Structure 1
Amino acid sequence: MHELPLVAATQLQQARSSSHGRASRLLLHMNMLRTSLIALTKGSVLDEHEAPHAGTLQVLEGKIRLSAESGATLELAAGELAEVPQERHDLLAISDAVVLLTTVTGVSGPEF
């Protein structure tokens, strides 16, 4: 069990101390399912990267912008949940933010 408010506060404090403006912690790893908490300071970016086979992003604190390679953008604020785009994408912290990323990994086919 993880106390998300406590973990979020700790990770955000670490992000503020980091030269990269971010900190993350793997909370759960059960077979193909992974849940990570990521904290970012305002203006910090997770550079463009490949999409997981499937995933969701829930904003616990702050506000973020997901930008997909196709040009689609999605802004999410605290309390909002969305699917991770199924294409290369990046993530920008519009304000200090903490997100919960849940992904399915280790899957090679289109269906599982």
Structure 2
Amino acid sequence: MVNLETLVRDQLDDARASAHGRSAHLFVHDGPLRQTVIALLAGNSLDEHNTPPAASLQILRGRVRLTGQGGGQELIAGDVTAIPHARHGLQAIEDSVVLLTAVTEVREQAQGVTVGTAVRT
């Protein structure tokens, strides 16, 4: 079991000690499922990159901008969003910590139909 609040504190401390102002810790690696806590200090960013087949971002602390097509989206602590299926980046407006949940592969049924569902509340 992992305590998310402890991870948040530890990753912020690691980001503050880093010359790059960021830190990440992969804490769930189960088949295609990955969960990573990422800390970014204000003004730092993750450059644009490709997205996995499915991913979401939950803002645990701070304020960030998810960049990409359409100019981006500002998110604050408590927000959860699906990651767009296009190149995107992440900029920290304040010292921030996010939880990235990603599925790195999608298996198909014998008929060639992709298995999976998405729930948005």
For the superposition of Structure 1 and Structure 2, which TM-score range results when normalised by the shorter chain? over 0.9
**Structure 2 gap ranges (5+):** 116-121
**Structure 1 gap ranges (5+):** none
> Is 2:66–2:89's contact at 8 Å kept on the other side of the alignment?
yes
In structure 2, what is the equivalent of residue 36 of structure 1?
36
SS of match in other structure, 1:7: helix
Q: Deviations over 1:9-40 (max 9, x none)?
A: 01101001101110000010111110000001
For the pair 1:82 / 2:81, whether they are aligned, the reply is yes
1:73 Cα deviation after fit: 1.0
SS of match in other structure, 2:26: strand
Q: Deviations over 1:48-68 (max 9, x none)?
A: 100111100000000000011
What's the TM-score once normalised by structure 1's chain length? 0.93
> Is 2:52–2:105's contact at 8 Å kept on the other side of the alignment?
no
Could you say which structure has the larger radius of gyration? 2
What code does the residue aligned with 1:86 have?
A: H
What's the TM-score once normalised by structure 2's chain length? 0.86
1:106 Cα deviation after fit: 3.1
For the pair 1:111 / 2:114, whether they are aligned, the reply is yes
In structure 2, what is the equivalent of residue 53 of structure 1?
53
What code does the residue aligned with 2:65 have?
A: R
- How many correspondences in the alignment? 111
SS of match in other structure, 1:71: helix
Question: Post-superposition, which runs of at least 4 consecutive aligned residues in structure 1 deviate over 4 A?
Answer: none
Query: What is the percentage of aligned positions where both structures have the same residue?
Result: 45
SS of match in other structure, 2:15: helix
RMSD, matched Cα: 1.5
For the pair 1:62 / 2:82, whether they are aligned, the reply is no
What code does the residue aligned with 1:111 have?
A: T
For the pair 1:96 / 2:99, whether they are aligned, the reply is no
